[in-house]
Amino acid sequence: MLARTPSRSPGPTARSLHRFLLNRAAVLGMCMIVPMILLILSYPLWWSFKPNDIDLLAMNAGPTTKHWFGTDGVGRDIFARVMDGGRISLLVAITSTIISAIIGFLVGAVSALAGRWADAVTMRFVDLVMTLPPVIFLLVLASIAGTGIRPTVLVISLLSWPLLARMVRSRLLELRERDFVLAARGMGAGLPHLLFRHGLPNSIDILVVFATLQIANAILLEAGLSFLGLGIAPPAASWGNMLNAARSTAVLEQYPWQWLFPGGALVLAVLAINFIGDGLRDAFDPRAELN
């Protein structure tokens, strides 16, 4: 009679994925954001209008079978501009999140692993950045950097990394006292080895959750800057500057589709990404292993 081989228990990644799939809000967020991203990426292949095409015969026209979301004051198709604005908003959000994640991880990891003097100097700098009023800091940076995709990415990146730096430092302060890190130091391992061989693998969960939630925050920051005229400049479309163009009383009352659709896309995208981020945070929470 053959002996049964014991079944392997799922690893931590599989258990985290299982907890994520059990989170209804997170699954709902995935069901919301995936079709939206597919529409945003694929619309030039099947939609006949481009974002800046002008139809003089359909200025301020309401939603029709030809223009699904209607047109704006110069006859541009709102659907095409919402889709293209989504591309720009997501591009700004994802790029700025990647940059801020790199800065935050490096600052936090160097602070935790490079020694007491580096820790003291780095954390005082982080504290200084975090004490600056975020709204004023954002507006000052935006007015200095100017408008456009690159300046907007730069502004959001420079504003978003300090919180991650503190979270990474908190995680790695405990890690640096473990035997394998002390052994690596004793064998002559340098700071780059400690950062990327030990620090990065043990910070992946923090980075994933931060990146997901920061994308939603960056979308809102870009929309706010563009609404104030400091982000993406027309004629390029973004959800923020579309709302800015539609903020007059006449448009708000007579042509609601000009602000309803970009505003709705912004709200749905941020809600969906926040649902996913909350689900990832709960899935990676080590306390969930005890339940």
Of the candidates 182, 191, 178, 207, the residue with the CA atom closest to the CA atom of residue 118 = 191
Q: How high is the pLDDT of residue 9? A: 61
The whole-model pTM stands at 0.83
pLDDT confidence of residue 8: 62
User: If we measure between CA atoms, which residue out of 267, 259, 262 comes closest to residue 220?
Assistant: 267
Domain range list for the chain: 83-219+271-290
pLDDT (0 to 100) of residue 11:
66
pLDDT in tens, the chain (291 residues): 445 555 566 666 777 788 888 888 889 999 999 999 999 999 888 888 888 888 888 888 888 888 889 888 888 999 999 999 889 888 989 999 999 999 999 988 888 887 788 888 888 888 888 887 777 777 777 777 777 888 888 888 888 888 899 888 888 887 777 776 767 667 766 777 777 777 788 888 888 888 888 998 898 888 888 887 777 877 888 888 888 888 877 888 888 888 899 999 999 999 999 999 888 888 876 555 545
Q: What is the pLDDT of residue 99?
A: 93
Q: What is the CATH number of domain 83-219+271-290?
A: 1.10.3720.10
Identify whether the C-beta of residue 239 lies closer than 8 Å to the C-beta of residue 232. no
Neighbours of 168 (CB within 10 A): 27
126: helix, strand or coil: helix
